[in-house]
Each structure stands twice: as C-alpha cells, then as structure tokens.
Amino acid sequence: MAMAPRQLVVLGDSGVHGWGDRLGGGWCERLRLEWMGLPQAPVIYPLGVRGDGLEAVSARWRREWSCRGELRRQQPDGVLLSVGLNDTARIGRPNGRPQLSEEAYAFGMGQLLEAISRESSVLVIGMTPVDDHVMPFADCLWYANPVIEQYEAVLAETCREHDVPFLAMHKQVQAEKDWLSWLEPDGLHLNADGHAWMHQRLRHWPALLAWAGLQPLKTLTPNTA
C-alpha cells in the first residue's frame, strides 16, 4: 500500500489566500502547483483568510485540519504560518490604537508556536512591506513600514526563542529596486509580480526544502533537462 503524502497546512491572511495575484493565484498556490508536479512532494493546504490576524488564526488552527479529508485522522506533518501584518495596522489615524499591541503579539505568537509545535513541525515567514503614501486602507486602517519592521523583529525573536525556522521578508522585499511596483493600488496587497517574488524565495528556502525532503534549486522545476 502506498504511503499517504505528507501534508503542509499554510495558515494566514490574504497573502496566503493569494489576493492580488490574478495570474498565479498567489505565492502559496504557485508553490502548491509546483509541488504537485514533483514526485514525493508534500500536499499543500492553503488556508488563508482575508483580514485574519494572530487572534483569528490562533482560534481556528486546530479546527482547520480536524475536518479536512485525509487530515481527519491525523495531524499534518508541517504548518507554515504567515500572519501578523494585519495586527500592525493602526485604527482610525496613523497613531491610533493598533489592532494588536507588540506585547500581545509576542505573547500570543509564543503561545501559538508552543501549541502547534506539540503536534507538528512549524515554520514561519515574515511580513511584506506596504506603500505608506496611499494609506489608510479601507479608509480606516493605517499600515506603516516602520511599525511592520518592529513587529517582524518581534516575530523573528519569538521564533528564535522557540527554535522555529523563520524567513524574513520585510527588508528583503524593500531591497529590490522595483518593489513598490509589486503592490496593488491599495498599497497593501501584493500583485502577481510580488507573489511571484515570494514564491521564488520560498521555493529556495533551505528550512522548507529540508522539511519537505526536496532537493534545492535545480530539481524544483519539473520537466526540465
């Protein structure tokens, strides 16, 4: 009897959902389709919900895999988290109350990593930058890169404390010359080019490839000589 493939549950917000990528469906969908063409690659379950922050993901993570097909009778082998950008937003004005304070974010993320780690492997990716000049989003939410940078630093430190692989995003995206052109007009969501860049970064991430049992770089493109 053939062994069931390993599963990777990807939890997060509109970035995981792929919002803004009308060509490839988002970085997670691009990775899912790529891995589908590779022998022995894990199956990816993209479970992103627009607007989700840490509290929403923490409330749903266990239920997400307890009711889904082959996962009903077992835990997933791995969980990839991409959550936090929505928590950084200030409500009503640039210096308004944050959706979730840095302290609460650090505490909640630590609790979530501990809980998931007891049942599965977990990996975490950082937050993408925004175009500050077109804020507010939805006429009420102010995202700002200096704040996002602080939250990603908190996220990175929390992952170090819990020995969880972390892939930084915020400064790495901004280091690219054309990064502002990778954003939707709303200044928040990535477009197809931005999602394509994230897909490339993820498909070469050593920690993810090691977990998946995949070889780096050259073997990740199916049907090539």
44, 10 contact by CB (below 8 A): yes
* Per-residue pLDDT at 101 exceeds 70: yes
Computed from CA positions of residues 203, 204, 206, 209, in that sequence, does the dihedral angle turn out positive or negative?
A: positive
pLDDT at 225: 30
If you ran DSSP here, which 8-state letter would residue 71 be given?
G
- Which range is least confidently modeled, 57-66, 78-87, 98-107? 57-66
pTM (2 d.p.):
0.90
Structural domain including 44 reads 13-216
CATH number (domain holding residue 89): 3.40.50.1110
Whether 56 is in a domain gets the answer yes
**What letter represents residue 115's amino acid?**
A
**What letter represents residue 29's amino acid?**
E
Whether 5 is in a domain gets the answer no
pLDDT confidence bin for 3, thresholds 50/70/90: low
pLDDT at 70: 63
* Lookup result for tokens 């937003």: 89
* Per-residue pLDDT at 1 exceeds 50: no
Bridge-based pairing of strands 141-142 and 90-91 is antiparallel
* Cis peptide leading into residue 39 (ω within 30°): no
End-to-end CA distance of the chain: 31
Whether 88 is in a domain gets the answer yes
pLDDT at 77: 87
pLDDT digit string, tens, across residues 43-72: 999 999 998 999 999 999 888 877 766 655
pLDDT at 13: 95
Number of domains in the chain: 1
